[in-house]
Structure 1
Amino acid sequence: MPATSRAATDAPDASDAAASLREAPLARLVVRRDGDAVAAASVLARALRQIDVPVQVSPTATEQARIERVDAGDPKAVTVAIGPVAGADVALGGEDRPVSIATAEIARELGVEPDAELALAGVVAAGELPADVAPALLERAKANGLERRDGVGIATDDLVDGIAHSLAFHATFSGNTEATATALDGIGIDGDVRETVAGDEHRALTDEQRRSIASLVAVAGTESDAPEAAADSIERVIRPHRLAGPVPTLEGYADLLSTTAVVEPGLAVAHAIGDLAVDTLESSWRAASVATHGALADADPARYDGVAVYDAEDASPEIVAALARDALSPEPVALAIGTDAIGLASRDSDAPDLVGALADAAGGDADVTTRYAVVREPTNVTETALVEAIREA
């Protein structure tokens, strides 16, 4: 199996990448499956469409799959690998910044103003704060109506739906709309209110209610074996960046893209490049949320020195691992074992090294994204062997 590498080739300058793409008979975007990469591909695809360059976008499950897709492509096309691999004409994603920023810069070099909100959703999906790493994009989005407000960053205007299915935190009511409605009722908030309701301020949340919801999530989401990690994760969705559309907040948009990039990558890409409305992602996001929170609700992870091991059950292991790391894991590395994949998420920056060792032990093909690492189709899922490989990496 290939070793994972986040820097297979040096990242090109935006001007050089644009020069390669401007006159391309076809641009092939071969993309890893995470929210930042999907957003990045979509920013670039939309820009290329505006200058009449045909575009093909292909999400890939592993680094090996990207290599094969790159090698099998039309030799006349310009191939862009988002999730860098050798052999691509343009390889992006090996830098220590969200790849959405890189494709926004390429779009500008192509003479197209990038979709700032989409690029910023990628930034948030990568776990970064827009003000820290993308101030120019943030200013552009503010000009389009973006503003920070009290509350919690959710993916739908339906408050109960958005809180219950958020994968930014885990609480006792997560994944269950009835339990979420009861929790909101406990702080005096009717589940029928919305984030915003055009022409009906009486059904929209007040600022005081938004602050109460943020307090509820901050308390309920840190009742775990990892309260400090959970608090850090929740902090990223408190006082969210409010959007005029297509979803209420940047944080919610990132949640939708990150989740569907894993469970329905074709839909995620089709929406983000403009072919499908955002509501086409919501059912997959809800189903993934219910499965993930269900797997973690009564989890009793096997705990080793430095590693906590979870049963992913019917959920996607990479999403389970990422949420366990952010909200629950008493150890810095969370490992989630599923039927056809193993997810790994670390609070340190060592995921590429760890998943390389994990892939060697498990016998599958691996990939590393900004939020998690994964080994697909493993032939060995013996827990002790996997943990030993990680600890020795």
Structure 2
Amino acid sequence: LAREVGTHPDPVVTAAGAVADGVEPPADVRAAAEAWTRRPGVGVPTADLAAGLAHSTLVHASFSGDEQAAGAFLAELGLPPEPDAAARRRLASAVALDATADAPPCAADAVHDALRPRATPDGMMATVEGYADVLNAVAWAAPGHGVALGLGVADRTAVLAAWQAHAAPSHAAVRAASLARHRGVVVADVPTASPTVARLLRDYRATEPAVIAVGTETAALATTDADAHAVLPGSVGTRRRAVTTLGDSSDADAVIETVRGGL
């Protein structure tokens, strides 16, 4: 779209958008990305590691959604105030082990995407992966901020506040989820359903390639090899994540059956 109106897309925003949707960015963006430095550690949007780990929705671990728990997790590692490469590698290993403990095998692939982030020292967020995390959150929770973030004119403080406000209940919903496994899909009964919740369940709890998270007002579908937007009736979203509104309980049952039949 940017090219169609005669301008050039920002490679950082484009790469972050691709990462957010779990797809490869265009070839020219990948070429630009080769100049960005990958560094050890975890891809968070801020320099504050405790806040970054607690509110990251790239991983679901014991400290997720709880800044005090994330601070305690970091304290146990004994990282220096300004972590060097070795300390960041130790952090990445600890996060990976925590996030994959008692999790299905797919969690190892999911957490890998959050490690060795691409640093963007001149960008609005500290890493491409952290930028993608924030984009995912505000697309659902604060779309006005999301548009501004994509255009590069967002209020960074307000955007990060929206990201944090979205993360905590998302992780709480994952912990509270009641899962029912079916062939090809896991149905999750959750307090609140969003694409973030469905994705976290798919990546860190499910033993099938798709999860439909069903709340009181919405249902969200996250997939790995099916078109979520095409399968979930009346939805908006992308090939990997989609969401729809629900009516009464029979509506939810009908949506679930449609999804099961479409996968």
What TM-score, normalized by structure 1, do the two folds share? 0.61
1:230 counterpart residue number: 107
2:217 counterpart residue number: 340
SS in 1 for 2:221: strand
Instruction: Check conservation: 1:160, 1:177, Cα contact below 8 A.
Output: yes
CA deviations over 1:343-372 (Å, ceiling 9, x no partner) = 0112222424421xxx3xxxxx32231431
Q: Does 1:182 align with 2:77?
A: no
Q: Any residues of structure 2 matched to 1:9-88 within 5 Å, and which? A: none
SS in 1 for 2:178: coil
Return closer, same or farther for 1:317/1:230 CA change in 2, 3 Å cut-off. same
Q: Does 1:121 align with 2:16?
A: yes
2:157 counterpart residue number: 279
Displacement of 1:142: 5.5
Instruction: Check conservation: 1:341, 1:376, Cα contact below 8 A.
Output: yes
Q: What CA distance in whole angstroms lies between the structure 2 residues aligned with 1:186 and 1:381?
A: 48
Give the count of matched residue pairs: 261
1:354 counterpart residue number: 231
Q: Any residues of structure 2 matched to 1:142-221 within 5 Å, and which? A: 146-189=36-79, 203-221=81-99
Displacement of 1:236: 1.2
Amino acid at match of 2:49: L
Amino acid at match of 2:68: E
CA deviations over 1:21-63 (Å, ceiling 9, x no partner) = xxxxxxxxxxxxxxxxxxxxxxxxxxxxxxxxxxxxxxxxxxx
2:245 counterpart residue number: 376
Instruction: Check conservation: 2:193, 2:214, Cα contact below 8 A.
Output: no
Return closer, same or farther for 1:316/1:278 CA change in 2, 3 Å cut-off. farther
Instruction: Check conservation: 1:307, 1:387, Cα contact below 8 A.
Output: no
Amino acid at match of 2:148: A
What TM-score, normalized by structure 2, do the two folds share? 0.89
Q: What CA distance in whole angstroms lies between the structure 1 residues aligned with 2:206 and 2:119?
A: 30
**Which structure is larger by alpha-carbon Rg, 1 or 2?**
1
Instruction: Check conservation: 2:176, 2:190, Cα contact below 8 A.
Output: no
Return closer, same or farther for 1:284/1:381 CA change in 2, 3 Å cut-off. farther
Return closer, same or farther for 1:297/1:189 CA change in 2, 3 Å cut-off. farther
Return closer, same or farther for 1:384/1:114 CA change in 2, 3 Å cut-off. closer
Displacement of 1:181: 1.4
Q: What CA distance in whole angstroms lies between the structure 2 residues aligned with 1:223 and 1:300?
A: 19
Instruction: Check conservation: 1:155, 1:248, Cα contact below 8 A.
Output: yes
Match of 1:240 among 117, 136, 139: 117
1:106 counterpart residue number: 4
Q: What CA distance in whole angstroms lies between the structure 1 residues aligned with 2:11 and 2:256?
A: 41
Q: What CA distance in whole angstroms lies between the structure 1 residues aligned with 2:11 and 2:189?
A: 38
Show structure 2 runs of 5+ residues with no match: none
Instruction: Check conservation: 2:184, 2:210, Cα contact below 8 A.
Output: yes
Q: Does 1:306 align with 2:187?
A: no
Q: Any residues of structure 2 matched to 1:309-324 within 5 Å, and which? A: 309-313=187-191, 315-324=192-201
Amino acid at match of 1:127: G
Q: What CA distance in whole angstroms lies between the structure 2 residues aligned with 1:340 and 1:383?
A: 9
